[in-house]
Structures are given as structure tokens and as C-alpha cells.
Amino acid sequence: MPQSHVFLLPIAALLTAVFLLAPDRSDAARPLRHERTTTTELHTLLDIKNEWGSPLQLASWNTTNHCSWTGITCVTRGGGLVTGISFKRLNLGGSIPPSMCNLKYLTHLDISYNNLTERFPRILLYACSRLRFLDLSHNAFYGALPDDISRLSPFMKYLNLTDNNFSGVVPPAIAELSALQELLLDSNGFTGEIPDSFSNLKELRVLDMWGNHFNGSIPVWIWQHQKLEKLYLYDNEFTGELPLNITMLKLEELDLSNNKLNGNIPEVLGTLKTLSFISLGSNEFTGPIPKSIGLLPNLQGLRIYNNKLLGSIPRSIGVLPNLQLIQLYKQYALG
């Protein structure tokens, strides 16, 4: 028995020494992995450039450091991983290159203010599985949005389709993008009503749907949304009255002008203390201007022109401390 102990101790010591002196293979491999990542991302970006026809706007894409190229953002200390592409106002045409979503860590894609002409590129964009920010605004995309648009990244917080040629009804499936905070669909040719399913967008801060052909009444859920800060529904064909119960405690800007809304302007608007801008012009509202509006401490703009309002202007409105703009013309029968 004693002899066995004599031989075990040196073996254990030897194994410990070997372990301590052995190189850290994970550390040794890390530069290689970074090199491979950098090469892969660079080649993908060059594919994008080639698929776009090597436009002059991307002529600077000719160095080995792709993170310094026009419009490219890489994660800090991320081995060249591309997380953002911004091609805003580059006068690019055609369609989005097929290789775009081969950038597997892409979270931000802004190709606004260009001349892109195609239907909503569903299959391509569905492959961008990490997108949080997508801006296709101010292009020439056309046609209906796909019914399965919910296949966009579940992390999507910002979706901007402003000023294109989209048409048809807005698919209820957008509501399955439950992380959305800003949804901008204005200046298109959308029709129909606001989907009831949108009530599931609990994180929504901005709902911008102006300049379309939406109709019907404004859904009740909107007036009870607890996080909505900006609501732009003007230049549509909405009808009906505003509710007596509005609990939008964070609402800052409300624009419902140029619709077909009627009835009285509810006094409850004066309880929404965060309101800084109210525009109800060019509707069919009747009755008096609510005195409660004069109790809004942050109100900077009030536009209620071209309605059928009666009575006098409440004095409290005239002494609001921050009011800079008031438009009441073309309607008033002063009392």
C-alpha cells in the first residue's frame, strides 16, 4: 500500500503541470473566429453591392475594413458583425438585394428616401430574424401588405412604411408584432377599418395612419391605450363621435383633422394633462368648445377650424401659458 502512494503523487503533480502549461485553445481560436466572421460579413456586403449593380453611392466599399463603409454599423468588439445598415437618401433604385438578410445579426435597416420599386419583399425580410428597426418609407413600394406579415422579426419595435404606394386593407397580423412601439403607415392608399386586433399592441407609443382611405369609427381600444403618446389619423374618412371616456394618460399629440367626425368635442379631453397639440379641424363637430381645454397646462397648439361649433371661446384658453397656435376660423357663431 505505501508503495502505491509513492507512484501516485508524481503522476498527479505531472498532470497538474501539463494542465497549467497547456495553451488556452479557446483564446487561441478567438482571433480565428473573428477573422472568419469579418471575412463572411465583408463578402456578404460585397454581394449586396454587386446585386445592386455596384452603384456609385457605394464606391467607398473598397477597403478591408467594412465597418468603416458608408451606411454600415458594426457591434463594438464584435469581430466585424454588422448590426446596422442605413442607406437613407442615397438615391438607390430597383429592389432590396437578396443577400441583405444574410447579415444574421442585422437589427437596424433604414433604406428610406430612395427609389425602390417592388411589392413588400416578404420572403427576404422574414429572413432578417433579429430586426428591431425597419424603415422603408419614402420609396415606391406598392400593392397589398402580406397577410403573414407577422413573420417579420418578433423583436420589431419600429416599422415605417410611410409615403409609398401600398394599398388594400391593413392585415390584422401586424398585431402579432407585439413589441412594436412605433407603427407608421401614413401617406399610402390603405382602405377599410383599423383592425380590432391592433388592441394587442400594448407597447405602442406612436400610431401614424394619416393620409389614407381608412373609414368607420375610431376603435374604442385606442381611447383607452395606456402608452400611446402620438395619434395621427388625419386626412382619412373616419366617422362617428368621440367617446365620453378617454383614458390615454400619456397622450401628447392628437390629430384627427380632415375626417367626417361629428357630435360634441368631449370635456374629457381637458383631463389629459400631457396633451401639447390638438387638431380636430375640418370635421363636423357641433356644440361648444369644452372649457376643460383651458385646463391643459402643456397645450401649445389648438386647431379646431372648419367645424360647426357654437358659443364663445372659453377665456381660460386665452391664458394658457404655453399656447402658441390657435386656429378657429370658418365656423364660429360667437355667443
Does 189 map to a domain? no
Alpha helices (H) in the chain, listed in sequence order:
2-21, 25-51, 122-126, 315-318
CB burial of 205-239 (b: ≥16 within 10 Å; e: otherwise) equals bbbbbbbbebeeebeeebbebeebbbbbbbbbebe
Say yes or no to pLDDT of 23 above 50.
Answer: no
For residue 100, being part of any structural domain is answered with no
C-alpha to C-alpha distance for 236 and 238, rounded to whole angstroms: 6
Tell whether 279 is covered by a domain.
Answer: yes
150 domain-assigned:
no
Q: Confirm whether 79 is domain-assigned.
A: no
Average pLDDT for 87-110: 96
Q: Which of 7-16, 88-97, 261-270, 306-315 has the lowest mean pLDDT?
A: 7-16
Which residues contact residue 82 at a Cβ distance below 8 angstroms, ignoring those fewer than 6 apart?
41, 44, 45, 66, 67, 72, 73, 74, 103, 105, 106
Calculate ∠ Cα 117-118-119, nearest 5°.
Answer: 145
Measured from the Cβ of residue 195, the count of other Cβ atoms closer than 10 Å reads 16
The domain in which residue 261 lies consists of 217-335
Domain assignment present for 261: yes
Question: Does residue 153 fall inside a structural domain?
Answer: no
Listed range (42-46, 75-79, 93-97, 232-236) with the worst mean pLDDT? 75-79
- Give the pLDDT confidence score for residue 39 in this predicted structure: 86
CATH, residue 261: 3.80.10.10
Look at residue 192 and tell me if it is in a domain.
Answer: no
- Domain count for the chain, please give it: 1
